[in-house]
Amino acid sequence: MHPWRASPLDQPHLLRPRVGLRHLSTTAPLRAQYTRFSSNGRSHAHQGQWDPRTKIIAFIGAGGVVYYVAHLEQVPETGRLRFMDISPKYEAKLAQVAYAELLSEFQGKILPAHHPITRHVRRVVTDILDASDLGTLHSSEPRRSLSGSDDLWRDDPFSAARPNASPPEIGGKEWNLLVVDDPKVINAMATFGNIVVFTGILPICKDEHGLAAVLGHEIGHVVARHAPERYSYSKVLILFAFLLQSVGLDIGITNLLSKLLLELPNSRTQELEADTIGMHLTAKACHDPQAAIEVHKRLAKHEQAFAGSTLEFLRTHPGEARRIQHLQELIPKAHSIMASSPRCAWCDRFHRAVPWRHASVELIVDVLWGHGQKEICRLSMMHHSVKYLLV
């Protein structure tokens, strides 16, 4: 090697262009192009596609909507749309179960059929059912319990539920009545054709017209099939809660939203609807429609004195002020029903002819029975405001 000729290793500038060319021509440009291509490719590939979890949620939601729409129906008495997927056959089974549970729950507190209060309540119930052709009360005499007690208030009227019980709105046309001796419970209820009246509600009712208002409301629940509607609606609540949890909401918040947005509003709607139907039923039975308003005024006073007030959107029932206003709006219709009823015309004529305030019930019965008007006797006794002396 000549001393003046340097080796390529001794001349680094001869290698730099090649290294630089390799870096610029291969690594950097290709890496940049690959990154851009990968990004664009992914966005196109996933555009318009759902992950499996989203697909399942969407499928369940869509199926639930279709099922819900397919089972919508109108309440005959009011025209309200509601979801109902309980068949009459299954409802009859629910009626049997409900009756057996009522007998078991109130065992030892049910008044016998021959007790004065039971007979009194039974008379008002029969009048309401007969006037609207809703069926009849079960007429079997109660069987005494083997407890050995002679206390009329402690007899157990039935030892088991009847196997063929069915709700009247599906063709059974037979109702059950249980009067429960519990003065602390200010309530009455009716479900699947089973009517339960607690003695604690009688002072609030005050007279037969007030009792008819309460019973008309409860029977209205059965006529409108509110119990099977609630049973059906529970499925809607479950689906709603599932969808809310699927989007990540906490189970506590989900349950709260379901209750506030769906369950409680639907319950209040049913109560107002039962008020409407009950007012019509009692008017057909020739009872004073104003009594319903007076009953709710007394309930409002009792609530203020003992229970306090609660915001309406947190309650299952509308506030008393709202219910009273609603009932006042129904009064003209109720008077129209009474005016067009031949049944009520007989009661009204007799009510004007006899000085009720100065005549005893016994005297009126004697007068009517003497003239052979037994049916008018029964109706006029209901039309008269008999005060409750036993409570």
Q: Is 218 a catalytic residue?
A: yes
CA distance 198 to 204: 11
Assess contact for 187 and 97: CB atoms under 8 A.
no
Catalytic residue among 91, 218, 273, 294: 218
* Closest listed residue to residue 301, CA positions, set 285, 324, 282, 279: 324
Q: In residues, how long is the chain?
A: 391
Residue 195 φ then ψ, to 5°: -105, 130
3-state secondary structure 71-100: CEEECCCCCCEEECCCCHHHHHHHHHHHHH
CA distance 99 to 139: 15
* Closest listed residue to residue 180, CA positions, set 151, 157, 146, 203: 157
CA distances from 377 to 64, 210, 286, 383, 386 (A): 56, 20, 14, 10, 14
* Closest listed residue to residue 277, CA positions, set 210, 326, 340: 326
Amino acid (1-letter code) at residue 125: V
Catalytic machinery residues:
218
